Structure 1
Amino acid sequence: MRMNHLGLPVRDPQRSVRFYHAYFGFDPATARRYPDGTVIVRDADGFDLALHAVEAVDALPAFLHFGFRLARPDDVRTLLRRLEADAVEVVERYDDPEYTAFKCLDPDAHRVEVYWEPS
């Protein structure tokens, strides 16, 4: 068993699809809109993001986040540089021999972690 679905409240599902496509590989061609306004978009590994349209996204606890594990520390650093160049807000960063990571905010202030650590 593995987790393969995450639902997020978002103000603008299409903006979120663009964000998750640009930085995390979700394929806009897979996006499907449902009658309640939810848009589900999938990545190459079959993970689905269910982006549910709401008028406002409530503030979330600072610890609440979800993450993407990358194969190498340099992959984390490369993505971090791309996000910073595009003025995406980065709220945490670590670069240690046993853990390289950062957390950024998506367009609705959901914390997204990108990390590497030895297996």
Structure 2
Amino acid sequence: MIKSRGLNHINLNVSDIQRSLRFYQAAFGLEVRFWDGRRMVFLGSPGGNDTITLCEVDTDQPIGAGGVSHFGFALAGQDQFEESVRQVERAGGRLLSRGDHAPGLPYAYFTDPDGYVIELGSS
């Protein structure tokens, strides 16, 4: 059996890498780890081990949800939740829905510029 240490990364096909880079930096504070050419950038949360790869593809390739329901970012605490929702909206995220998974566990779903659905929640 494989002994996994958890999800390593997610790769998102995007239509405009600079637009998507600006969104993920402004909305979630992700930092550039490194570039692979001009059409792929590796991002991560400051101090975290997560990686999101943005890959600019030609328009004949799938962009957007493409079978992925959503992926999520966990906040350190719910005291940041309301300001974080506003931050994602200011960055260009479109709020789809919000509520509570359980008492004291708020969530909000957004779309990014290419239509990927992102969940913001507190842990």
What's the TM-score, normalizing by structure 1? 0.79
Q: What do residues 31-56 of structure 1 show as CA deviations (whole Å, max 9, x unaligned)?
A: 31337x22222222132111111233
Q: Which of residues 23, 28, 40 is equivalent to 2:27?
A: 23
Query: Alpha carbons of 1:26 and 1:82: their partners in 2 closer, same or farther (altered >3 Å)?
Result: closer
Unaligned runs of 5+ in 2: none
1:35-50 alignment runs, 5 A limit: 37-44=39-46, 45-50=48-53
Q: What do residues 54-88 of structure 1 show as CA deviations (whole Å, max 9, x unaligned)?
A: 23325535x71000111222312111123334553
What's the TM-score, normalizing by structure 2? 0.77
Answer yes or no: is the 8 Å Cα contact 1:31–1:42 preserved in 2: no
Unaligned runs of 5+ in 1: none
- The runs of at least 4 aligned residues of structure 1 exceeding 6 Å deviation read none
Root-mean-square deviation (CA, aligned residues, Å) is: 2.2
| Alignment length (residue pairs) | 114
Query: Alpha carbons of 1:26 and 1:58: their partners in 2 closer, same or farther (altered >3 Å)?
Result: closer
